[in-house]
Structure 1
Amino acid sequence: MMHLLVYILIYPVIWLISMLPFSVLYAISDVVYLLVYYVIGYRKKVVLNNLRLAFPEKTDEEIVKIRKKFYRHFVDVFVEMIKSFTVSKEEVYKRYKYTNLELFDELYKDGKSVILTGPHYANWEWIMSLDSFVKYKGYAAFTKVKNPYLNEKILRSRAKFGTNLIQTSKIIAEIKHNHKHNIQAMYGLLSDQSPQLSKTFYWSEFLGVKVPIHTGAEMLAKRFKMNMVYIETKKIKRGYYETSFSLISNETEKYPDYKLTDIFTDKVEKQIRTQPEYYFWTHNRFKHLNKAPK
């Protein structure tokens, strides 16, 4: 009953906000940014610590400037997520462009599936629209929301382009099924956050700091002989993004362990260093500092 009550109270508000035009939403975002940054101070210490570890060569003034830009973008992404509940496909197509979709046409010819991997950078929600432009059956791993009513609404919102949302814990079973029945599919995995230490198999440097690294994308690509493709999204201007893709490997099974993960991590790092304000810095990426095995 409590989940239902929360849903009844919260979802109508979310829906009404979502119906507002982008211009009004970004005006709200400007106000929320002031509250989040100057009044609430949401995870400011975490963000500051992350930035100082990642960019030790930058001055305090430069770090603070990046942090402010990040929070402005962070709140923008939050309102864009809310807008996703009611935004039309046509509006997303206008705001979220792809530059080299022909890569997937070529890869589809080899009969294999694709692991599509990338970081929490720029706007990672609207990548769901990719399913409208490729031949593959699309899947995206997601973490279930505890409230079942809100969870259902989120699933419907994200699946409007045809992408199948599947819990991370169930994705291996789905890959096995599709592989067995020769179904070519594309599986979207965001692999830049810290794994649990109990599930860590590999440590490496990321932005100059030795951290535990997710290896699930590599493991799945090699096990099922899938192509591995990297997502790179750029923020062109407020509310507008451009995404391109680069092939990590079309022969993943031939790589030594962790090499594909290293290639992925290197790509993420280069992308972050280009415009660090668009990375998801509120995640405590370096919480396991100095815990790496000798």
Structure 2
Amino acid sequence: MSIDRNRLRKRVKRTMRPALDIVTYGVVMLLGALVRMLSREQTRRLACFIGDFIHRGIGLRRDMVYRNLSLTFPEKSSEEIGRIATAMYRNVASTLLEVLRLPLIRNRGDAASLVDIKGDDAFWEWQRSGKTGAVMVSAHYGNWELMATAFGLLICPVTIIVKRLHNERVDRKMNDYRTMRGNRVVYPKQSIREGLRLLQNGGTLAILGDQSDPDEANFGEFLGRRTTMFHGAAFFALRAKVPLFVPICTSNGDGRYTITLTHIDTSDLSFNKTDIAILAARYTSAIEAQIRRRPEEWFWLHDRWKRGCD
């Protein structure tokens, strides 16, 4: 009987999914039309409302978020953990609304009015050299979608490796937003061939390398706990012999953002499995350091330790 119920649930889910996808797409489009009519301050207030509703009302993954925050920061009180969680949910909502406002960023001036870029000496030297190819590895931190659009307008276009969304309509619209100002996207299955070709031709490849690897190809520590590790950015940088930078987008608290770029040294490394792991550990360490400094801006809603955790 239980097997029959399970089959029935799966059949109902498959039957309803197309309709649910259409409804979801319609809601996203309506929300996008709304936020593009609002001022930035009104959008920020709406993001706080939505974030608090997801946190306190729906409770989306709330237990997991609080557990992972407590395990990562055992020295923090329950009140501090609660404040971080509240700010995180609001930041996630803000990032979503900012994605829907991307069509309002039409040129370099619009991007510069929202984002400041601060790079180390190695980054500006690379930028002045004429951009001979580079890998940018970042995290689901701050406003990562706005960062890609602003970077493409203010520095150079980038090709972003993106995960395909289950909702095809939303996936297409998201990629429309991501590419409307000159950036490109590529899905993981095509990324090795297209990514290497891009880098060899002097292009810039962008990767978010902070989530769990479903293939479980490599393991290591992230924020002090064992889990899977993505080595893709290290593979590309060492195989193509191009520099690797970690860009991080942080909120200034006033509706503006700062992108900080840090060069990760590869001068002592070559293209082999051991050195790929060493480089992955180096840029992971840079991402971890930022998360520890301002944990409220990282995407704790992802179950980062679901594979290989204690």
Range into which the TM-score falls when normalised by the shorter chain: 0.7 to 0.9
Summarize the alignment of residues 119-158 of structure 1 with structure 2, pairs less than 5 Å apart. 119-128=139-148, 129-135=150-156, 137-158=157-178
Q: Distance in 2 between matches of 1:107 and 1:124?
A: 22
138 and 56 in structure 1: CA distance in 2 versus 1, 3 angstrom threshold:
same
Q: Among 47, 51, 63, which residue is 1:29 paired with?
A: 47
Summarize the alignment of residues 3-82 of structure 1 with structure 2, pairs less than 5 Å apart. 6=23, 9-10=26-27, 12-19=29-36, 20-82=38-100
Question: For structure 1, which runs of at least 5 residues remain unmatched after alignment?
Answer: none
Partner-residue secondary structure (3-state), 1:234: strand
More helix by share: 2
Q: Among 242, 265, 268, which residue is 2:284 paired with?
A: 265
User: Which string of whole-angstrom CA distances, capped at 9 and with x for unpartnered residues, describes residues 234-293 of structure 1?
Assistant: 2111421101211113545267241111111111111011111111100111223546xx
Which residue in 1 is equivalent to 2:9? Answer: none
The alignment status of 1:229 with 2:250, answered yes or no, reads no
134 and 8 in structure 1: CA distance in 2 versus 1, 3 angstrom threshold:
closer
Does 75-84 or 41-50 show the bigger shift?
A: 75-84
Question: For structure 2, which runs of at least 5 residues remain unmatched after alignment?
Answer: 1-17
Q: TM-score, normalised by structure 2?
A: 0.82
Which residue in 2 is equivalent to 1:280? Answer: 299
Q: Distance in 2 between matches of 1:46 and 1:100?
A: 34
Does 110-119 or 167-176 show the bigger shift?
A: 110-119
Check whether the contact 1:117–1:231 (CA below 8 A) recurs between aligned residues: yes
Question: How far did residue 68 of structure 1 move?
Answer: 1.6
Partner-residue secondary structure (3-state), 2:252: strand
Question: How far did residue 206 of structure 1 move?
Answer: 1.6
Question: How far did residue 57 of structure 1 move?
Answer: 1.9
- Partner AA of 1:144 in structure 2: R
Does 93-102 or 159-168 show the bigger shift?
A: 93-102
Q: Distance in 1 between matches of 2:309 and 2:179?
A: 40
Q: Distance in 2 between matches of 1:147 and 1:32?
A: 21
Which residue in 2 is equivalent to 1:245? Answer: 261
Question: What percent of counterpart residues are identical?
Answer: 22
Q: TM-score, normalised by structure 1?
A: 0.86
Which residue in 2 is equivalent to 1:218? Answer: 234
Which residue in 1 is equivalent to 2:4? Answer: none
Number of matched residues? 286
- Partner AA of 1:18 in structure 2: V
Check whether the contact 1:101–1:133 (CA below 8 A) recurs between aligned residues: no
Q: Distance in 1 between matches of 2:245 and 2:162?
A: 19
Q: Distance in 2 between matches of 1:4 and 1:47?
A: 26
Check whether the contact 2:216–2:228 (CA below 8 A) recurs between aligned residues: yes
Check whether the contact 1:105–1:134 (CA below 8 A) recurs between aligned residues: no
257 and 134 in structure 1: CA distance in 2 versus 1, 3 angstrom threshold:
same
The alignment status of 1:160 with 2:171, answered yes or no, reads no
Q: Distance in 1 between matches of 2:264 and 2:194?
A: 23
Q: Distance in 1 between matches of 2:64 and 2:142?
A: 19
Question: How far did residue 43 of structure 1 move?
Answer: 1.1
Partner-residue secondary structure (3-state), 1:125: helix
- Partner AA of 1:194 in structure 2: S
Which residue in 2 is equivalent to 1:202? Answer: 218
Check whether the contact 2:137–2:208 (CA below 8 A) recurs between aligned residues: yes
14 and 72 in structure 1: CA distance in 2 versus 1, 3 angstrom threshold:
closer
Does 207-216 or 29-38 show the bigger shift?
A: 29-38
